[in-house]
Amino acid sequence: MGNDKPLVEIAGRPLLSYVVDGLRPQVDELVINANGDASRFSEFLLPVVPDGIDGNPGPLAGILAGMRWSQVFCPQARFMASAAVDTPFFPGDLVTRLSEGCGHDETTIAVAASFNGVHPVFGLWPIALADDLEEWLKKAKSSKVLDFADHYVRLNVPFDHLEADGRQIDPFFNVNTPEDAAEAQAMLEALNRTQAAE
């Protein structure tokens, strides 16, 4: 989008704030994965970890960074949830549903799905797979999240659409362009009107 996507504003708030507010009630700890100057996220008062793999291998590198952070700072944790920064409407029961879906099986990766397809960045990852993921990335097998997930048992957990002003909204609608940002603002206004009317 020509900007630092986490800080792109929807209705006067950066995208990252929607993700932080949405995840905070669902998890014990939060960490931001981002490269570059971490101070740009200082207002969120959260740790920021960069990718630990060179070559910009995409979201899998961020997932690995989160796993490694969890191993150090949350050694009791067995799973790590991940979410995309550009998706402000994801469900408030995301982590619970993913956890129920995988049944706490440390060989199963649970990912979100909706009527628009599978959304693998929204996943629940067994932290025990960190070494496997690092080896996968270092061997450059594939940077696609689903390629790695399908190397194990992948479970797609379906989520219903949201209803607002008579329209269906994919809870995993993501913002990639200025037009998407405008659409997200319209969706947010519609959702707020629907909630106010209930």
Domain holding 19, by residue range, is: 5-160
Residue 3: predicted pLDDT: 65
Would you say 44 and 16 are in contact if contact means Cβ atoms under 8 Å apart? yes
Is the pTM higher than 0.85? The answer reads yes
Q: Which of 137, 144, 158 is nearest to 67 (CA)?
A: 137
Looking at the domain assignment, is residue 170 inside a domain?
A: no
Q: Which of 128, 133, 121 is nearest to 172 (CA)?
A: 121
> Angle CA(116)–CA(31)–CA(24) in degrees, nearest 5?
70
Helix (H) or strand (E) run with residue 126 in it: strand 117-126
Q: Which of 92, 91, 151, 149 is nearest to 120 (CA)?
A: 149
Looking at the domain assignment, is residue 33 inside a domain?
A: yes
Looking at the domain assignment, is residue 106 inside a domain?
A: yes
Looking at the domain assignment, is residue 182 inside a domain?
A: no
Q: Determine what percent of the chain is predicted with pLDDT higher than 90.
A: 80
pLDDT digits (tens, 9 = 90+) for 65-108: 999 999 999 999 999 999 999 999 999 999 999 999 888 788 89
Looking at the domain assignment, is residue 175 inside a domain?
A: no
pLDDT digits (tens, 9 = 90+) for 5-25: 999 999 999 999 999 999 999
Looking at the domain assignment, is residue 82 inside a domain?
A: yes
Looking at the domain assignment, is residue 27 inside a domain?
A: yes
C-alpha span between 165 and 188 (Å, rounded): 11
| pLDDT at residue 35 is higher than 60 | yes
Q: Encoding tokens for residue 10? A: 């929807």
State the chain's mean pLDDT as an integer.
Answer: 93
Residue 197: predicted pLDDT: 76
- Cα–Cα distances in angstroms (integers) from residue 51 to residues 33, 57, 148, in the given order: 7, 9, 17
Structurally, the chain folds into a number of domains equal to 1
Residue 2: predicted pLDDT: 54
Residue 1: predicted pLDDT: 58
Looking at the domain assignment, is residue 195 inside a domain?
A: no
Q: Where residue 82 sits, what CATH number does that domain have?
A: 3.90.550.10
| pLDDT at residue 55 is higher than 90 | no
Length of the chain as a residue count: 198
